[in-house]
Amino acid sequence: MKLLKVPALTFLTVSTLLLAGLNACRKPAELRIGIIVPLTGGSADFGRWAHNGVELALAELNRQGALSGKRFVGLYEDTQMEPKLGLSAFKKLVSVDEVTAVMTAGSGVVLAIAPEAESTRTVQINYSAVNPGIRKAGQYTFTLVNDAEVEAEEIARFAYQTLGIREIAVAYANASYGVGTRDAVAHSFSRHGGKIVGTVAFPEDFTDVRAQILQLAEMKAQAVYLVATINDSGRLLTQAAELGFKTQWLSYNPFESPEVVRIAGAAADGVIFTSSNPFDLPDTDDKPKQFLDAYVAKYGERPNLYAATAYDAVFLLAHAKMSSDGTREGIQRALASVSGYQGVSGIISFDEDGCAHRPVFIKTVRDGRFVMYVP
Amino acid sequence: MSAQTLLNTLIAASEYALVGLSFAVIYIVARFFHFSHGAVFTCAAYAAYTAKTQLELSLGPTVVMAIGVAGLLGIALELGVYRKLRRRGANKLTLLVASMGLYLVLQNTISLIFGDSVKVLRDVGPDKAMVFWGGRITNIQVWIILTSPVTFALVWATLKFTRLGKVLRAVANDSELSKVVGIDVEKATLIAFVVGSTLAGLAAVVISLNVDMTPTMGMNALMMAVVVVIIGGVKSLRGIAVAAMLLAAARNFGVIWVGAEWQDAIAFLLLSAFLLLRPQGLFGLPLRRSSV
């Protein structure tokens, strides 16, 4: 064994380096888009929806562009929703794989990447993160969803005017998206004349939040706004129901996932949340409808907003690359001028901060299904 | 609501004590930080999930399967990795690093096979709760509160009155001297792994029935177990029980006094305080020097 040790080690080292080198050299006719999403970890759902949407988009793009000889390729990097991992993934994609455009998810990740995107002049399209700070993160950062302030405004107005709620509490995950949304909700609700009676934080991926639920109960608010991942929302609602804590739960876009119902069961019924999901409307436009059918045919489940925005992100980046002079600044200019683009998630126009405004609906959970809210 | 807080504290303490006990049994005999104990915990939970969803077993066989998987995994880790490393002269740090690597591999394997979303072991949805002393408690939570002291009693009786218990205590006390008097230390270590891992399996099932499971749940459990064992005084069963109560109280009442976002920090503040002021723990013997 000892005799083989040195040559074996040498072989392993050389072959590893060779593989890494070969990996980095890709065919020049490939157009690469970086996909920086949580593929594992508590928010792996976001990554899964993105993956599904991106694969559909790439297949369609390459089908359309088959004759031109150009192939679009998605390079996936896992962030586990951690800003540190997201930033190193971004740096690797830009310096090693030489991508000129990425799509990203997660407020912490997007905000961490933004300064680097500015300095390397690499556009990032955020297809899901809602922290209001992203608006001012730079001209190379574009967002396809409403930020927390927009959603907060809608739910605050709805809660105050339609539901007659005057006092709310906020339960939020102790992370970037949680804190950003908490502040947005507090601000909006107060502006309408309502009162925030308290806020309670919980760690992400918790085991047990019974202490926090008791704190919420003490506050005796008429409604509680919940900002959490699917996993955490599901478990929190279950534990709250077991403790006998009843309230009007309010939440936001990411809440809309079948997983929540799968985890919480009947405890998820009655939650009211803001949604920009274009697929449940009676008069869905053609393009979203086509996407819906294609998605269901391929994956056997209905898409949600994030699969659609991920799909749109790929197409927007592809169009920007093809229609511009190919330089980094050119791609940024092409994206910034997008207006009235009919995407599968709806009509997209970027404002002067690179943010798109999406229509907001109020939905609820009834018997385990997500339906439009009817008073 | 303090009646509920007390109940929550009792439930949490029972959970911490059970996991702490499972970790301690291995730690005091094998004398190194068996980090992948967290993965044994998680694997047991997911074995129970597989038993329920794929094999459609009822609760009893599910629990038995989970405990069995945990025990087998413990044996595999000891025989397949740790014993081999020890025979090559590995020191405690090497074993710690190896166990961390094992934890990562096992946890990610579970993520790969089952995905990262929460998996539910009980019937979906909130359990019915009974009202007790002004607070609410579910069936499984009652079971947790009962299982913990019963398990403690069994382990204590085994350690005190059986020959096996004497052997384990001897090795825990001084493994070199144990060898001198003819005790098979390697066999004792293996038995400790079996006992500790099966206890972890039991804890994993009852905790999953209470709060559902994710691939990272083992890390949470392990952290609390380590804090409890160190604060309690490592070799003292009584210490583990008291430390579990202390930790649970700090986390549940601390949220009220200090704020919910500090809940995890409270556990480690408590640990830091003990390490600085009373490193031998509540019931441990004062030492001049110790190492992990």
B210-253 pLDDT, tens digit each: 998 999 999 999 999 999 999 998 888 999 999 999 999 999 98
| Strand A123-126 relative to strand A101-104, pairing | parallel
**Given this model, what pLDDT does residue A277 score?**
87
Nearest alpha carbon to residue B123 among B175, B68, B75, B52: B52
All residues of chain A having their beta carbon less than 8 Å from the beta carbon of residue B211 are: 207-208, 235, 239
Q: What is the torsional sign of CA A210, A212, A214, A220?
A: negative
pLDDT the model gives residue B128 = 83
User: Tokens 């925005």 appear where?
Assistant: A309
On chain B, the residues whose CB falls within 8 A of the CB of A43 are 116
Q: What token pair was written down for B133?
A: 């002393």
Spatial distance between the Cα atoms of A282 and A203, rounded to a whole number of angstroms: 38
Q: Is the pLDDT of residue B286 over 90?
A: no
Which value, to the nearest 10 degrees, does the dihedral of the CA atoms of residues B226, B229, B230, B231 take? 120
Sort out which chain B residues have CB atoms less than 8 A from A212's CB and list them: 255, 260, 263
Query: Strand B135-138 vs strand B129-132: parallel, antiparallel, or unpaired?
Result: antiparallel
**A241/B1 Cβ within 8 A:** no
pLDDT average, residue stretch B73-88: 95
Q: By CA distance, what is A45's nearest residue in B?
A: B117
On whether the CB atoms of residues A89 and A36 are closer than 8 A, the answer is yes
Contact (CB, 8 A) for B236 and B27? no
Sequence-separated (6 or more) residues with CB below 8 Å from residue B122: B140, B209, B212
Looking at the complex, report in whole angstroms how far the Cα of residue A123 sits from the nearest Cα belonging to chain B: 29
- In chain A, which stretches have pLDDT less than 50? 28
Residues 21-50 of B with CB under 8 A from A: none
The C-alpha atoms of residue B3 and residue B20 are separated, in whole angstroms, by: 25
Chain B residues within an 8 Å CB radius of A263: 117-118, 120, 124, 212
Span B156-194, pLDDT tens digits? 999 999 999 999 999 999 989 999 999 999 999 999 999
Given this model, what pLDDT does residue A23 score?
A: 60
Query: CA angle A256-A158-A340, nearest 5°?
Result: 65
The proportion of chain B whose per-residue pLDDT surpasses 90, expressed as a percent, equals: 69
pLDDT digits (tens, 9 = 90+) for B137-149: 998 999 999 999 9
pLDDT of residue A27: 53
Neighbouring C-beta atoms of residue B74, cutoff 10 Å:
29
Angle at the Cα of A142 from the Cα atoms of A318 and A295, rounded to 5 degrees:
55
Nearest CA in chain A to B129: A242
Subunit contact A211:B115, Cβ cutoff 8 A: no
Q: Which of B10, B53, B117, B268 to mutate to test the interface with A (most CBs of A within 10 A)?
A: B117
Distance between CA atoms of residues A320 and A354, nearest Å:
14
> Burial level of A11, CB count in 10 A (0-12/13-18/19+)?
exposed
Distance CA A111, CA A86 (A): 10
Q: Flag whether pLDDT at B18 surpasses 90.
A: yes
pLDDT digits (tens, 9 = 90+) for B81-126: 999 999 999 999 999 999 999 999 999 999 889 988 889 988 777 8
Facing residue for A174 by CB, picked from B207, B256, B261:
B261
pLDDT of residue A26: 53
Quick one: which H or E segment has residue A200? strand A195-202
CA distance A152 to chain B (A): 22
Question: What's the rounded Cα separation, in Å, for the pair A245 and A270?
Answer: 14
pTM: 0.84
Per-residue pLDDT at A7: 83
Is residue A48 within 8 A of residue A79, CB to CB? The reply is: no
> In this predicted structure, what is the pLDDT of residue B85?
95
pLDDT of residue A29: 65
Contacts (Cβ under 8 Å, ≥6 apart) of A284: A278, A292
ipTM score of complex? 0.84
Of the partner residues B138, B214, B255, the one whose CB lies closest to the CB of residue A42: B214
